[in-house]
Structure 1
């Protein structure tokens, strides 16, 4: 076992001194922040756009309903024809023309109102206009029936039931969404880490195998130790790169937002939604968000994230290393990649489509114990409150599976790294396990 630290050190230094590794370590955060800055800048330009809409209201029912905002301005047209209104709208290059004809029955109004524009209008804009028209028409319809709409509004009471656990801890309707975001982010991060750095291990094994360096190394080191050294060394290199990415992205984001005055909030999809938001409602949402974040088991999440992150990656890394040992080139790995990726893809689908509906259901619990899916599914379940004993059992199964997988992978590894010029089949690989 005294060779293991040397192998880990060699693998780590080989990776971090590689030119492409160094370039991508520093270039990736620059690309990420550059894309963010570009999107924020383009969004700010889009939010500065003022949409002008002409309104031809022949019915005279909506003359006091259209209120302009900083990003949306309405212009009520006087006595004119629809054709003249269209020509004027095209000449002035307004965003659109809203035509409300004169009708005898309110029921017919919904079929006659038309919005003219050069291109298809945005869904949010048409939704706001339709809501405005619908509210006014419904008010007029109530008046026709002899019902005072204001009285109905005053009699209407909004119900928002309080949410609280049996132990007296307050929750809100945003809780499930936030828990899914936290769990989903953790699971997706692990998913991407496994794919990126698992492929790095596989390519490293293939390169050493094709260059015949492995024949020299294997003469003095047991295949199992060499396999573990590659896995641990590449894992440390990956963690180093990941930490550098996080630090650089935070620094660059701070610099970009301060120097160029880019507001991250400017990248929101619809500025008009913000213009129409109510301060009281926004404050209540922020309070609910902060309350739910405080209710999350942060310490439990961090500890289990580290354990499942490490265990899940080590488990899949051993599979990637065995695949690299079994083939001669990266193009030959395709037939073996699908069985490795399928459990990961299945875990993501189970997490998003089952955990969100019933995080403590049978399906969610079963996949929380299967080692190939538990790193993703269990991480998504923990924010919803999973008993500690279940988490511990899942972690133990995961690391026990890693030890067993290393034993199997080492058998493939010790035979495969010395095989050249032949594409192995699943049947042959199965025979290697018996040697």
Structure 2
């Protein structure tokens, strides 16, 4: 146990003191902050394009019903189009002309207007003009056809599904209508976290093994430490490094995002004006969606999700880190050739990612349930299903399988590691690795 602790301590301290680790830990939140600042600047950038538009309403039905917007100024004119074209470009004239033809059939769903301008029309300006003409056209049709505006609004019905178990007990609340969407979002985040962690820190273990093998340091180390102890110490040490980095990011990233938002400022009034500029966005409906989403997050059974996620994370990490370590010990001096040995490991990880995406749409499908009991898939698929509250027997059974398989992988990887770490000069094949499992030394 003392030797194991020494190996863990060495692996941990050696890596956390490296400049690359410190820079990655500090620069990742900083890079995210710069990204957020740039995105916020882009979306808050105000278009400096100014359009003074002369509106020729040939049917005299829209007069005064097209409001101005910042950068878009409408004025209705009775002059011929040719006269307005002659005035275009003057200091006090217009730089665009909008010709609205006569409305011959108020029931028609197609309506074409003509726009004249020497400058190309930007997409935002085009959409803004279309929205205003559509709004004015709608008001004209309602008035012409004798329709009731309040009756038309009553046709729009907000349907929200509140799912509830058939076996729900009296007094128990029904599930939030956003539970499915919130669960899918949380499951997707946890699945991707597992996917990235397995790849990043599993590859880190493999590189650690390869470095010691190529530098011949391991020959000295194994003279006083058993190979299996060395392997287990590497896996735990690198895992502790990864955990340290994740915990640091959990503190630094929110703090950095908060400081960036505070420094650059967030103008709620400007955001409200931007939402009001788009008639497709209903502020009350958006607020209702946000409130239901927050309620959905709060109603999640986090006392089950978080502990299970941690166990799956540890099981998946030990499982794949052991496999990567075994592959690292079998590689020769040519790292390019040795990369082919990682293919059998990366394929299950990628397949598990795609199965996880399918499980988001159908968390209780045969594919999702079956994959939850396959050890190489379960650490990625099952955490994504946890927000959907799978049966307890599936969670327990899957955890038992993952833990048992992870322990078996560590033991098997140790059998390969003890031989492969001293095998220099050539790349070993999968056949060689299988033979090492049963060798006595």
Shorter-chain TM range is 0.7 to 0.9
From 334, 339, 343, the equivalent of 2:344 is: 339
Deviation at 1:159, TM superposition (A): 5.3
What secondary structure sits across from 1:102 in the alignment? coil
Residues 242 and 329 (structure 1), Cα distance of their counterparts in 2 relative to 1, 3 Å cut? farther
Check conservation: 1:37, 1:262, Cα contact below 8 A: no
What secondary structure sits across from 1:296 in the alignment? coil
1:300 match: 304
Cα distance between partner residues in 2 of 1:106 and 1:74:
26
Using structure 1 for the length normalisation, give the TM-score.
0.85
Cα distance between partner residues in 2 of 1:405 and 1:86:
79
1:100 match: 100
Number of matched pairs:
428
Cα distance between partner residues in 1 of 2:363 and 2:28:
35
Residues 187 and 81 (structure 1), Cα distance of their counterparts in 2 relative to 1, 3 Å cut? farther
Cα distance between partner residues in 2 of 1:336 and 1:85:
74
Structure 1 unaligned spans of 5+:
none
Check conservation: 1:97, 1:116, Cα contact below 8 A: yes
Deviation at 1:234, TM superposition (A): 0.4
What secondary structure sits across from 1:423 in the alignment? coil
Q: Which runs of structure 2 are paired with 1:193-272 in the superposition (5 Å)?
A: 193-258=197-262, 260-263=263-266, 272=274
Deviations along 1:183-224, one digit per CA (max 9) or x if unpaired, are: 111111121122221221111111100100011112232222
Residues 164 and 74 (structure 1), Cα distance of their counterparts in 2 relative to 1, 3 Å cut? farther
Check conservation: 1:171, 1:291, Cα contact below 8 A: no
Deviations along 1:254-299, one digit per CA (max 9) or x if unpaired, are: 33333x243298998x973354444432332232122212221122
Residues 17 and 111 (structure 1), Cα distance of their counterparts in 2 relative to 1, 3 Å cut? same
What secondary structure sits across from 1:389 in the alignment? helix
Q: Which runs of structure 2 are paired with 1:84-233 in the superposition (5 Å)?
A: 98-102=98-102, 104-105=104-105, 110=110, 112-114=112-114, 118=119, 121-122=122-123, 130=130, 133-134=133-134, 137=137, 148-150=147-149, 152-153=151-152, 156=155, 158=157, 160-161=159-160, 163-166=162-165, 167=168, 168-233=172-237
Deviations along 1:351-397, one digit per CA (max 9) or x if unpaired, are: 22x22321111111111121222122111111111122211211111
1:378 match: 382
Residues 310 and 156 (structure 1), Cα distance of their counterparts in 2 relative to 1, 3 Å cut? same
Check conservation: 1:359, 1:381, Cα contact below 8 A: yes
Check conservation: 2:338, 2:427, Cα contact below 8 A: no
What secondary structure sits across from 1:54 in the alignment? strand
Using structure 2 for the length normalisation, give the TM-score.
0.84
Deviation at 1:411, TM superposition (A): 2.3
Deviations along 1:228-276, one digit per CA (max 9) or x if unpaired, are: 1100000001111221122122232333333x243298998x9733544
What secondary structure sits across from 1:369 in the alignment? coil
From 345, 350, 354, the equivalent of 2:355 is: 350
Deviation at 1:3, TM superposition (A): 1.9
Check conservation: 1:40, 1:266, Cα contact below 8 A: no
Check conservation: 2:205, 2:321, Cα contact below 8 A: yes
Q: Does 1:56 align with 2:61?
A: no
What secondary structure sits across from 1:110 in the alignment? coil
The structure with the largest helix share of the pair is 1
